[in-house]
Structure formats: C-alpha cells, structure tokens
Structure 1
C-alpha cells in the first residue's frame, strides 16, 4: 500500500497544489495496478499529525510520501531532512503560531528521509521534470508533518520497514498571474513527478551517489 498526502489550502489561497498533485498521482498509480490511498491533511500543527497517524494505522502502508506547497520555488523539491522545530512565520488554519517549539518534545533533532532522493532526482531529470534535492523543508506545517512522519516510522505508529519522506511542489500555474514572473508548474506535471518518485522508490533498495548538494 502506498499513502500519498497533500495539504488543504492555507494563507488565503483557494487551492493547494500539493493535494491536487497527490490526488492526481494516486489515480495514475492506481491505473498502473498499485494500491494507493490519498489523504488531504489539515494545515494545522498537531491536528495534521493526528490525521496522518490515524491513516498509518488504518492503511499500514509500505511507502508514505507527504507533499506540501513551497510557493516561489521553481522545481520539485525532494526534501532530505526534517528538523525538530516549529517556528511559524504565519498562523496555521486554526490560528496556531508556535515559535521555537519542538515537533516531538524530547525527540531527535532531525531525521533524514528514507526515500531514495538521489535516484528520484535522476529519474525526474530523465523525465524532463525540473527537480532538486532540498536541504530544508522550512519550519512551518510541512516540516512539522515531515518530522512527525519520520518519528512515527522510526519509533511508533507505522514503525516497520515502511519508507517515507516529503516533497515540496511549486505553485500551480493557475495560482499565479500571467507574466508576473513567479515560478509555477502545471498540476499534471506535478502529479507525474510524484508518480515518478513512487515508481523509483518501489524499484530502488539503495540510493545512488549523485552530486546534489549546495554551497550555501
């Protein structure tokens, strides 16, 4: 079983491409014969984790990919690391705005994704989809769910051979004004990108060596 999640709209937006892409990718993968569950998470600290952990118990997935919107980024971002820090620049959809709080009190400072991010990067580039390995998932609800997911897979709910990680997607094309210069990507391309990552993860047991770091 594969579990894909995206978030509800936040920050005044009426859509969230992470959910649009996750839902569409699940249909692509089902058509290929995979068992897939898609779940829209609330953009709320704490509550999003409760909803995710319930889904982990219900579906017992072997692969979990959570997806979020990173407006302004021009590429699919394969997140490498989740940090144990909530530091919200804006309130979540319930008005919560934690500052310098731990995602998991007393938990590890960070977790690495268990997805083959380098192999996925190579596969996305081969498919002509702009992609990168990102070293930061931020400190908002995206990083919150990423760290909580990896903590669950390592220590608690869903702890097993289940692999998981997080992907950021750009704005969807319809979210940005034409000619405004803000990076965006068609929803269909994002959905195919997620399907590429899933296919790569299912076919890859050990990640490849591929330079994808940054100097700052």
Structure 2
C-alpha cells in the first residue's frame, strides 16, 4: 500500500544470476511491498546483475521516484543472517561472470571516485530490531566485490549528491534455493527483517553507541 502524502522509500533487489531462475532478494522486496502499510510510499526496482548497467538503473530509479530512503538488497548465499553492510569499496572483482558475461578483475568501480563509502543506515539499530523478532542478524563489514558491492558503492555516491538516506542489506538464501546444505532463512523472516530496516531508516537519527566487547 502507498501513503500518498508521506516520503518515498525505494527498495532495490537483483534479478536472478549464476544460472538461477529466482533471486531471494527480489522475492523479499516484492513481498514486503505487497504487505507494506506505511508510513511512506514504497517503490521497488529490479537491478541487473550486469556491472555496466547498475549505475544507470539506479540513477533512473532515483530520478523517477525521488526517494527519501533507498535500501538496496542482494543475496549472500552461504550466510545464515540478515546482514546490513557497513562499507562499500571501490573494487570490481568477479568470482563468476555477470549476466552479460563480464568478469572484471581488480578494477575500480569509479577510477576517480572515493576509496569507500559508508552506509547511511543505522545499521546497529537495525540489527537490534531484527534480533528482537528472533530473526538472525549481524553487521557485515564486507559486501564482497561483485554487483552487490557495486550497487552499494554507486548508491552511496548518489546519496551524497541527491540528499537521500541509503544503504545495503544482504539477505540469506531461502529454503529451496541454491545448493543443498547451505544455510537458509524463511522468506517471511527475511521480509519481516526488511520491514525493520525500512522503518529504522525512516526514523533516522543516530545509530546505537557500541558499548565495547566483540560484535557478533
């Protein structure tokens, strides 16, 4: 559902890749949009798993929707928790080819860009809120070097210019997806976690202050 008077939240997720026919990140954001009841308009956009196209698709979506908050999501197959990412780095280094067959190795995303961008989301507050639902969550300090990291890097570069709050969240595979034996998380848990992400992003304000001890 959409609030016709409130701010706009843009959620992005990726198309299938690596021979898969679905992508749990896309399944999750579309499910959240279907059940969303405000307090903001929600829009969703699917990004290509193509290095050469990620930025232009992000730019087009941001110019179309003029969001207050942008939450980009992607699949982290092998992780067992929902993981808000702390930092995006200016590197493309592909373990597998993208959907157009490109496989950059140790190339910059932007040769003239910043070395890294930090998330604009309250990542520790988000983790605390997700864990309060008994859904596993943790801060991640690496978004990898594939198109997820690229989308995160490009998003934060755009946020610096277009005045919106943004960040990236990796989600685990859902049951029935991927190789047997890898960790999964039910789709409903992923959707509830992303609901927390969006609501905390809309709240804004400072993140939690870390009280010492190991982060886990």
TM-score (norm 2): 0.92
Question: How far does residue 202 in structure 1 lie from its aligned partner after superposition?
Answer: 1.5
5 Å matches for 1:1-216? 1-29=8-36, 31-155=37-161, 159-160=162-163, 162-176=164-178, 180-210=180-210
TM-score (norm 1): 0.92
Change (3 A) 1:118 1:214: closer
Change (3 A) 1:213 1:47: farther
What SS is found at the alignment partner of 1:194? helix
What SS is found at the alignment partner of 1:111? strand
- Uncovered stretches (5+) of structure 2, i.e. residues with no partner: 1-7
What SS is found at the alignment partner of 1:72? coil
Change (3 A) 1:139 1:176: closer
Matches of 1:122 and 1:214 in 2, distance apart?
12
Deviation per CA, 1:48-86: give whole Å up to 9, x if none.
221111000111100000000000000001100000000
Matches of 1:46 and 1:72 in 2, distance apart?
26
Match of residue 5 from structure 2: none
Count of aligned positions: 208
Deviation per CA, 1:18-63: give whole Å up to 9, x if none.
101111112222x234200001111110212211110001111000
